A and B are shown apart, each in its own frame.
Chain A
Amino acid sequence: MEKENIIEVKDLHVDIKMLEGLLTPVRGVNFEIKKGETLGLVGESGCGKSITCKAILGINDKKCVPHGKIDFRTVDDKEIDLLSLDPKGKEIRDIRGKQISMIFQEPMVAFSPMYTIGNQINEATLLHITKDKKKAKEISMEVMRKVGIANVEKRYNQYPHEFSGGMLQRALIAMALVCNPKLLIADEPTTALDVTIQAQILELMKELQKEFNMAILFITHDLGVVAKMCDRVAVMYLGRIVESGDAETIYANPQHPYTRGLMGSVHKIGGKKDERLFSIEGTVPLAMNLPKACGFYDRCDARIEGLCDKAEPDLVEIEPGHQIACFNCPNAACQAQRAAAEARIKEEEARAAAEETEDKKGGKKRGKR
Chain B
Amino acid sequence: MEKDNILEVKNVHKRFTSKGITVRAVSDVSFTVKKGETIGIVGESGCGKTTLGRCIVRAYDASEGEVFYRTEAGEELDFLKADRKKMKEIRKEIQMIFQDPYSSLDPRMTVLDIIKEPLKANYPKMSKAEMDNKAKEMAARVGLNPSYLMRYPHAFSGGQRQRIGIARALVLNPSIIVCDEAVSALDVSIQAQVINLLKDLQKEFKLTYLFISHDLSVVEHISDKVGVMYLGKMVEYGSTEQIFAHPRHPYTEALMSAVPVADPKYRQERIPLKGEIPNPANPPSGCYFHTRCQYCTEKCSENTPEYIEVEPGHFVACSRCDELNLRGFDYSQLQ
Binding site for B on A (CB under 8 A): 44-45, 164-167, 194-200, 202-203, 221-228, 247-248, 251-252, 261-271, 273, 276-281, 283
Q: Answer whether residue B73 sits at the interface, using C-beta atoms and an 8 A cutoff.
A: no
Contacts of A276 in B (CB 8 A): 196, 199
> Do most interface residues of chain A lie in helix, strand or loop, or is the interface mixed?
helix
Q: Are the CB atoms of B262 and A268 closer together than 8 Å?
A: yes
17 contacts between A and B (CB under 8 A): A164-B276, A194-B44, A196-B44, A197-B44, A221-B188, A223-B262, A224-B259, A248-B264, A248-B265, A251-B262, A263-B262, A267-B218, A269-B217, A270-B329, A270-B334, A271-B221, A276-B196
Q: Are the CB atoms of B262 and A227 closer together than 8 Å?
A: yes
In B236-263, the 8 Å CB interface with A consists of 240, 244, 254-255, 257-263
- A286 shortest CB reach to chain B, Å: 10
Q: Are the CB atoms of A223 and B188 closer together than 8 Å?
A: yes
For chain B, the bracket of interface size reads 35 or more
Q: Answer whether residue B28 sits at the interface, using C-beta atoms and an 8 A cutoff.
A: no
Give B8-45 as 1s and 0s: 1 = Cβ < 8 Å from A's Cβ atoms: 00000000000000000000000000000000000011
- B155 shortest CB reach to chain A, Å: 13
Tell me the bound Cα distance from A280 to B191 in angstroms. Answer: 10
Q: Answer whether residue B120 sits at the interface, using C-beta atoms and an 8 A cutoff.
A: no
Tell me the bound Cα distance from A202 to B329 in angstroms. Answer: 19
Q: Are the CB atoms of B187 and A267 closer together than 8 Å?
A: no
Contacts of A264 in B (CB 8 A): 192
Tell me the bound Cα distance from A226 to B263 in angstroms. Answer: 9
Q: Are A265 and B191 also in contact (CB < 8 A) when A195-B216, A198-B258, A198-B260 are?
A: yes
Contacts of A248 in B (CB 8 A): 264-265
Contacts of B220 in A (CB 8 A): 267, 269
Give B259-278 as 1s and 0s: 1 = Cβ < 8 Å from A's Cβ atoms: 11111111000101100110
Q: Answer whether residue B103 sits at the interface, using C-beta atoms and an 8 A cutoff.
A: no
Q: Are A269 and B261 also in contact (CB < 8 A) when A195-B216, A203-B270 are?
A: yes
Choose from B193, B258, B264, B266 the contact partner of A199 (Cβ within 8 Å).
B258
Tell me the bound Cα distance from A75 to B221 in angstroms. Answer: 48
Tell me the bound Cα distance from A222 to B276 in angstroms. Answer: 24
Contacts of B265 in A (CB 8 A): 248, 251-252
Q: Are A195 and B255 also in contact (CB < 8 A) when A45-B187, A223-B188, A224-B261 are?
A: yes
Tell me the bound Cα distance from A44 to B186 in angstroms. Answer: 9
Contacts of A198 in B (CB 8 A): 258, 260
Choose from A166, A196, A262 the contact partner of B188 (Cβ within 8 Å).
A262
Most buried by B among A203, A225, A263, A265: A265
Q: Are A225 and B260 also in contact (CB < 8 A) when A269-B244, A283-B190 are?
A: yes
Tell me the bound Cα distance from A276 to B276 in angstroms. Answer: 37
Q: Are the CB atoms of A194 and B260 closer together than 8 Å?
A: no
Contacts of B272 in A (CB 8 A): 200
Tell me the bound Cα distance from A171 to B201 in angstroms. Answer: 45
Tell me the bound Cα distance from A277 to B194 in angstroms. Answer: 10
- B166 shortest CB reach to chain A, Å: 15
Q: Answer whether residue B320 sits at the interface, using C-beta atoms and an 8 A cutoff.
A: no
Q: Answer whether residue B157 sits at the interface, using C-beta atoms and an 8 A cutoff.
A: yes
Q: Are the CB atoms of A277 and B196 closer together than 8 Å?
A: yes
Q: Are A195 and B276 also in contact (CB < 8 A) when A268-B217, A279-B192, A279-B196 are?
A: no
Q: Are the CB atoms of A251 and B221 closer together than 8 Å?
A: no
**Which residue of B has the minimal Cβ distance to A247?**
B264
